[in-house]
A and B are shown apart, each in its own frame.
Chain A
Amino acid sequence: MARPRINVPSTARRGEIVEIKTLIAHPMETGFRPDESGRLRPRDIIHTFVCTLNGEEVFRAELFPAITANPFIAFTMVATESGDLAFHWTDDHGTTQTETVRITVT
Chain B
Amino acid sequence: MRRHALTAALLLALPAVAGEIGQAERRSGFDFMGPDTQALQRDDTANPGLLWVDEGAALWTRKEGAAGRACADCHGDAAESMRGVAARYPAYDAGLGRPLDLEQRINRCRATHQQSPPLAHESRELLALTAFVAHQSRGLPVAPDPDPRMEPFREHGRQLFHRREGQLDLACSQCHDDHWGRRLAGNPIPQGHPTAYPLYRLEWQGLGSLQRRFRNCQTATRAEPYAYGSAEYVDLAAYLMERARGLPVETPGVRP
Which residues of chain A have a CB within 8 Å of any CB of chain B? 2-3, 5, 7, 21, 23-25, 27, 68-70, 72, 74
Which residues of chain B have a CB within 8 Å of any CB of chain A? 45-46, 48, 50-52, 54-55, 58, 205-206
Q: How far is the CB of B45 from chain A (nearest CB, A)?
A: 4
Q: What is the interface of chain B mostly: helix, strand, loop, or mixed?
A: helix
The answer to whether B55 and A23 touch across the interface, beta carbons within 8 angstroms, is no
Q: How far is the CB of A71 from chain B (nearest CB, A)?
A: 9
Q: Between A and B, how many residue pairs show CB distances below 8 Å?
A: 36
Q: How far is the CB of B215 from chain A (nearest CB, A)?
A: 16
The answer to whether A70 and B58 touch across the interface, beta carbons within 8 angstroms, is no
Known interface pairs A25-B51, A68-B205, A69-B206; A3-B58 also in contact (CB < 8 Å): yes
B50 surroundings in chain A (CB, below 8 A): 5, 23
The answer to whether B46 and A72 touch across the interface, beta carbons within 8 angstroms, is yes
Determine the residue in chain A with the shortest Cβ distance to B46.
Answer: A72
Give complex CA distance A60, B54 in Å.
Answer: 25
Q: How far is the CB of B131 from chain A (nearest CB, A)?
A: 12
Among A25, A27, A74, chain B packs the most CB atoms within 10 A around the CB of: A25
Q: Which of B45, B55, B205 contacts A21 (CB 8 A)?
A: B45
The answer to whether B54 and A70 touch across the interface, beta carbons within 8 angstroms, is no
Determine the residue in chain A with the shortest Cβ distance to B200.
Answer: A70
Q: How far is the CB of B94 from chain A (nearest CB, A)?
A: 37
